[in-house]
Amino acid sequence: MTEPHVAVWDNCLKIFKDNVNIQSYKTWFEPIRPIKLEGSVLTIEVPSQFFYEWLEEHYVTLLRKTIERELGKDARLEYSIVVENSSGFKSPYTINIPTFGNTPSKNPDVSVPINIGNSIKNPFVIPGLKKINIDPQLNPNYNFESFVEGDCNRLARSAGFAVANKPGGTSFNPLVIYGGVGLGKTHLAQAIGNQAKQNFNNKTVLYVSSEKFTNQFIDALKNNSINDFVHFYQLIDLLIIDDIQFFANKEKTQDIFFHIFNHLHQSGKQLVLTSDRPPKDLEGIEERLLSRFKWGLSADLQVPDFETRIAILEKKMHADGIELPRDVVEFVSYNIDTNIRELEGALISLLAQSSLNKKEIDLEIAKKIIKNFVKSISREVSIDFIQKMVCEHFHVPIEKVKEKTRKRAIVQARQLSMFLAKSYTKNSLKLIGKHFGGRDHSTVIHSCQAIQNLLDTDEEFRDSVDELKKKIQMSSIS
Ligand code: ADP
Ligand code: MG
């Protein structure tokens, strides 16, 4: 039989799952362990102090409501925080911090005096010896201010920000940022370094590409100075390694990195890694390294949506003191949806052309230039066109999406058509509703939400929609 605290927690998990997105659920709720239930006091174990603070800051209301629903008005939640000692082993004792229930305030005093008294002095640091000055190799332009936030990068950005404010002190260690080319991995990784440097001037921060790390290692091998190489890296408080996929099949480099990683991690130092694919898909990387990458958090960067692309272009223009008409910005953002580097490339071609021709850029010129830039320009797609594509893709008769049928397959095709019409056309919600048998705008909003939920949770559906999107884009190129 399931023990009561487990059963209660299982019920809570179902509610959490319905109320937060899947990525947040995995990050913040799955790692929690129910420990015991005494009366109406439920004790849960969380991996770290930071984890606890994050839950309290972001999910206190959800937690409270859910627990009260399960255990009644007197419900209380107690946290038990696993303390990791500096050798990385989980210590058996935990700290109980009572939270809501007896503390009516939203955020109970999170700075409860916790004296864990287990900080072991690092025997390698000689007291009084000044730290050597290491150039962090950071580009100051890659900072958080210039990094535009959007749905495409929210988790990675906020985790990165948390890490910069508490290097080594969060559960995001290592923080692995992954995503396709030109989506902002280097920018974000450097922003973390810059921010950490700004917050903690005395911390040693180092940004290095995996190629540079490999080359330094090979030089060290040649010069018989491996010890110096390793000692140097062991001095770093925040080590950022960019594009770790290039470590693939370099066994010796992986080996040395493994030792450095362990040393840093065990001494509570922070690692930030970037990769062009999720750690689980990295080939040619040793299992023991891969398993370590999973100790922290892997967060992805996706292709930004239309609005975020506009915001990025505007930020770039602002930084460079350039102004472009709004319709030009929209046109460029609409047509260049591959990655941010291309978006910037398009902006640069526009500026180059206009200064060459000594002409202000208007939509007309922009169209010409961008046409050469991407070679193919997508026409504005119509709602009818989207309906046709969706219905073909899902084998649903097109007239049905305009009727009131409540059959599941048809409802889904209808909702997806509305969703795509919202993302691909500039029609108002009202007009979109009209195309589906005169439905109102709130139905369209509801449909978009339903589809977004499905996309967030159902991989198969997401793949199918991605395929459909490609078809729509291909067929709409003139
Ligand atoms: P990656 O390392 O993933 O290939 P980069 O970090 O080099 O990508 O980013 C490519 C370009 O796009 C850079 O000039 C960067 O400043 C810009 N960029 C990426 N993401 C953002 C963002 N969210 N906001 C503003 N600029 C961005
Ligand atoms: Mg990069």
Which atom of ligand 1 is the closest one to the Cα of 179?
3
In angstroms, the Cα distances linking 49 to 77, 96, 170, 207, 426 are 15, 11, 8, 27, 46
pLDDT at position 424 is 83
* Domain boundary pick from 339, 360, 377: 377
**Lining residues, ligand 1, CB within 6 Å:** 146-148, 153, 179, 181-187, 312, 315, 340-341, 344
Domain check: are 162 and 271 in the same one? yes
Q: How far from each other are the two terminal CA atoms of the chain, in whole angstroms?
A: 64
Domain check: are 250 and 294 in the same one? yes
Domain membership flag for residue 113: no
Q: What is the DSSP letter of 27?
A: I
The CATH number given to whatever domain includes residue 340 is: 1.10.8.60
Which atom of ligand 1 is the closest one to the Cα of 187?
6
Q: Return the best residue to mutate from 149, 177, 187, 316 for the ligand 1 pocket (most ligand atoms within 8 A of CB).
A: 187
How far apart are the C-alpha atoms of 222 and 388, rounded to whole Å? 64
Domain check: are 252 and 333 in the same one? no
pLDDT at position 100 is 46
Domain check: are 8 and 145 in the same one? no
The CATH number given to whatever domain includes residue 392 is: 1.10.1750.10
Domain membership flag for residue 118: no
- Closest by alpha carbon to 50, among 131, 159, 128? 159
Domain check: are 291 and 354 in the same one? no
pLDDT at position 187 is 98
How does strand 175-178 pair with strand 297-300? parallel
Give the total number of structural domains in the chain.
Answer: 4
Whether residue 191 contacts residue 144, with contact meaning beta carbons closer than 8 Å, is answered with yes
Domain check: are 144 and 262 in the same one? yes
Residue numbers of the domain that contains 244: 127-301
Domain membership flag for residue 117: no
pLDDT at position 56 is 79
Q: Residue 271: enclosing H or E segment and its boundaries?
A: strand 270-275
C-alpha of residue 191 to centroid of ligand 1, in Å: 11
pLDDT at position 98 is 42
Domain check: are 319 and 189 in the same one? no
Whether residue 470 contacts residue 477, with contact meaning beta carbons closer than 8 Å, is answered with no
Secondary structure (H, E, C), 292-329: HHCCCEEEECCCCCHHHHHHHHHHHHHHHCCCCCHHHH
Amino acid at 441: H
Domain membership flag for residue 116: no
Domain check: are 463 and 401 in the same one? yes
Taking 50 as the pLDDT cut, the residues of the chain under it are 84-130, 376-378, 477-478
C-alpha of residue 242 to centroid of ligand 2, in Å: 7
Domain membership flag for residue 175: yes
Domain membership flag for residue 401: yes
pLDDT at position 415 is 95
Domain check: are 365 and 390 in the same one? no
The CATH number given to whatever domain includes residue 168 is: 3.40.50.300
What pLDDT digit, counting tens, does each position of 235-292 carry? 999 999 999 999 999 999 999 999 999 999 999 999 999 999 999 999 999 999 999 9
In angstroms, the Cα distances linking 448 to 332, 414, 443 are 25, 10, 9
* Domain boundary pick from 107, 136, 164: 107
Domain check: are 226 and 321 in the same one? no
Domain check: are 251 and 317 in the same one? no
Give the tokens for residue 273.
């890694």
C-alpha of residue 258 to centroid of ligand 2, in Å: 22
Which atom of ligand 1 is the closest one to the Cα of 301?
3
Domain membership flag for residue 436: yes
The CATH number given to whatever domain includes residue 27 is: 3.30.300.180
